[in-house]
Amino acid sequence: MQPEVRRVCCAVGSCVRSACAAAWAMGRRARGRRFQQPPQPEGEEDGSDGSRKRGQEGWEGGYPEIIKENKLFEHYYQELKIVPEGEWDQFMGSLREPLPATLRITGYKSHAKEILHCLKNKYFKELEDLEVDGQKVEVPQPLSWYPEELAWHTNLSRKILRKSPLLAKFHQFLVSETESILDMCAAPGSKTTQLIEMLHADMSVPFPEGFVIANDVDNKRCYLLVHQAKRLSSPCIMVVNHDASSIPRLTVDVDGRKEILFYDRILCDVPCSGDGTMRKNIDVWKKWTTLNSLQLHGLQLRIATRGAEQLAEGGRMVYSTCSLNPVEDEAVIAALLEKSEGALELADVSAELPGLKWMPGVSQWKVMTRDGQWFADWQEVPQGRHTQIRPTMFPPKDLDKLQAMHLERCLRILPHHQNTGGFFVAVLVKKAPMPWNKRQPKVQSKSAQARDPKASNTVAATKGNPSDQSELESQMITGAGDSEAAQTTENTESNEKKDGVCGPPPSKKMKLFGFKEDPFVFIPEDDPLFPPIEKFYALDPSFPRMNLLTRTTEGKKRQLYMVSKELRNVLLNNSEKMKVINTGIKVWCRNNSGEEFDCAFRLAQEGIYTLYPFINSRIITVSMEDVKTLLTQENPFFRKLSSEAYSQVKDLTKGSVVLKYEPDSANPDTLRCPIVLCGWRGKASIRTFVPKNERLHYLRMMGLEVLGEKKKEGVILTNESVASPEQPEEEDAKQTAQDPCNPDSVPGCDPGAAEPSR
């Protein structure tokens, strides 16, 4: 577990990540501004002669050079004094420098440590004495504040990477591992994956208590979120598509009662002007204006308010932006605290991330219009600007009330302090219901009882669009903010009697955007599909079969998915009002000829770590050398395995198998983490059903360097296989071709390709 990160990210079991997709995408460049790069004289490509300066390079990458100057930006922040005295030049100089590349090692903790060992003892070590163009290459450095050295940064540029074979090899490693376990901290989902990792800190627990609900208002970004989350293969994540400022209140069944779901942890990562991202989104330099902040303030406050409403008493909510502007930061927090009337308070987290440098939040600031006009108080704002500038954008006038808010507990991270971007973070604790929620909403249930806030162990992530301010204010005044909970529970019983079918919400109740999603259909207890699976794999009686689902109501069930019991509860009770993009992990895939092997379904690698603890049959214990053989050869014959593995596999019937590697405590030089792979036992050969990127990942964990691939032979070349090439045997090839149970010849089996995800 990573306790420090857990506290900052506010993720213990579950959360509603309230963040919005910024439709204006500050980093996107206009496609109409592309120019051809002028021809370069021979020998000057990539500036190899060392004489070409940045300003003489023409339109690098097809884009015109953007001047990193904005006088209004400098005037605004110098006036607000958010940068310590004497540090302004450092601050601006840092903003003009490119942001270093950052990588974070994700996934199961034991696997992450193996990758870290590989990085430090192989790739980083090779770079220690490397020089390029007469200059020593800077070796990647760990982030001082991130626990266990699982996050690193480097200033290596793409131009330098092309000049050295060692750097090119390191770059290729990063690109390949990004598909498996490295998070390059750029795409949507970086924060969500951290939350999932915290749930699965103990990889021996297949179904940890709690779950993560990740939401984004942008349908396309939801699918990017799914892609990121899928790498962690968790049955405890759900991706939904809603406006965060009006995300629906969910209900769950607790001992036959319908109770409102409150979240223990909420990550409220709101849309913002993004002026803290100038180092990577250089368009911000010329587009920056205070109007962006003024337009976003209301949305940010609405999202934060909705998050606070759904937070459990005693729970924590993190509010974060990548903006330095108090209008988007302290002003939102102050307004939220003021209207909470003591229900919320800022937590002091100053000691929770040792090594992280930050500035305390400010308690005084002014508001500036896009044309440079300043206002220190709402009373100074002329009537004509009241729609653009709102009272909540200013500090509270009551000094005692302002002091009691402890805005200095907010954290502002400045780029020049630790070579980062700019960020703002505030951690809020809920002490009581929000004032407009004092009277708990009535829910139709067998018995109305007060809800234990600890009963929900949830994390959520959301992104939203602006909604009408007057509508929200009327909600809060009348206390109707949670009325949808009472209304929608009327439909709960009708949901449950649909035999576990959880479809998308009807169009009359919610306007859907993007792709139409398939329903989530839970497998009935009496479904004849399950007993053959249960028998073939000797599943433990504790196996939660009720959590199995498919994505179709018609025809053959081709794939079986699994969710935690908590997410099953959420799905069954909220399908009428919630647009679910994805949930569950694939655990079995139909093999069209599977009946010949006593079971129509083979194991899926995506869900094997969740499924393995319940399987008591068809398990083959393999050595590290066996794993290397299985991952580098397409169809190795039984005799190529160790004698221990051979003795296990020869007596098994044909069909899907589990290949399990356990670390050898007597041999510290071998791989120190367990590995579980899906395989297929044929007539005389065995193979793995592992996606290519995952194969390469495991090989690198074992210290092998992947050099290439012979696709026709189905062989992955490594430094070991090249050093000791194995001659192909004609008899082996002949026997493989004749093996009727070779997975290549089994219809419906896709042995090596990455398994599709819904």
Q: Cβ-count burial of 204 within 10 angstroms (0-12 exposed, 13-18 middle, 19+ buried)?
A: exposed
Residue 543 sits at φ, ψ, to 5 deg, of -60, 125
43 in a known ligand binding site: no
Bridge-based pairing of strands 211-215 and 182-183 is unpaired
CA angle 244, 289, 415 (to 5 degrees): 80
322 is catalytic: yes
Structure tokens at 538: 């000797």
C-alpha dist (Å) from residue 89 to 76, 93, 94, 224: 15, 6, 8, 38
**Residue in this structure with the two tokens 């308070």, named with its chain if needed:** 345
190 in a known ligand binding site: yes
Q: Are 405 and 346 in contact (CB under 8 A)?
A: yes
51 in a known ligand binding site: no
89 in a known ligand binding site: no
C-alpha dist (Å) from residue 149 to 101, 113, 115, 409, 510: 16, 9, 11, 26, 45
Using DSSP's 3-state secondary structure scheme, residue 696 falls into helix
CA angle 655, 683, 645 (to 5 degrees): 75
Q: If you count them, how many residues does the chain have?
A: 758
Spatial distance between the Cα atoms of 525 and 531, rounded to a whole number of angstroms:
10
147 in a known ligand binding site: no
User: What is the residue type of 232?
Assistant: L
Spatial distance between the Cα atoms of 311 and 291, rounded to a whole number of angstroms:
31
Spatial distance between the Cα atoms of 218 and 271, rounded to a whole number of angstroms:
12
188 in a known ligand binding site: yes
Spatial distance between the Cα atoms of 407 and 395, rounded to a whole number of angstroms:
10
Half-sphere exposure of 117 (CA within 13 A, CB side): 16
User: Shortest CA distance to 174 belongs to which of 693, 689, 688?
Assistant: 693
Spatial distance between the Cα atoms of 427 and 715, rounded to a whole number of angstroms:
51
575 in a known ligand binding site: no
Spatial distance between the Cα atoms of 215 and 250, rounded to a whole number of angstroms:
13
DSSP states along 224-254: HHHHHHHTT--TTEEEE---GGGPPPPEEEE
Q: Which of 322, 410, 589, 599 is catalytic?
A: 322
Using DSSP's 3-state secondary structure scheme, residue 285 falls into helix
663 in a known ligand binding site: no
Q: Are 19 and 267 in contact (CB under 8 A)?
A: yes
Structure tokens at 440: 């708990």
Spatial distance between the Cα atoms of 310 and 306, rounded to a whole number of angstroms:
7
Q: End-to-end CA distance of the chain: give it in Å, rounded.
A: 29
3-state secondary structure 391-430: HHHCCCCCHHHHHHHCHHHCEEECHHHHCCCCEEEEEEEE
187 in a known ligand binding site: yes
Would you give the DSSP letter of residue 635? S
535 in a known ligand binding site: no
Number of C-beta neighbours around residue 474 at 10 A: 12
Active site members: 322
Which residues are part of a known binding site for S-adenosyl-L-methionine?
185-191, 216, 243, 269
Which residues are part of a known binding site?
185-191, 216, 243, 269
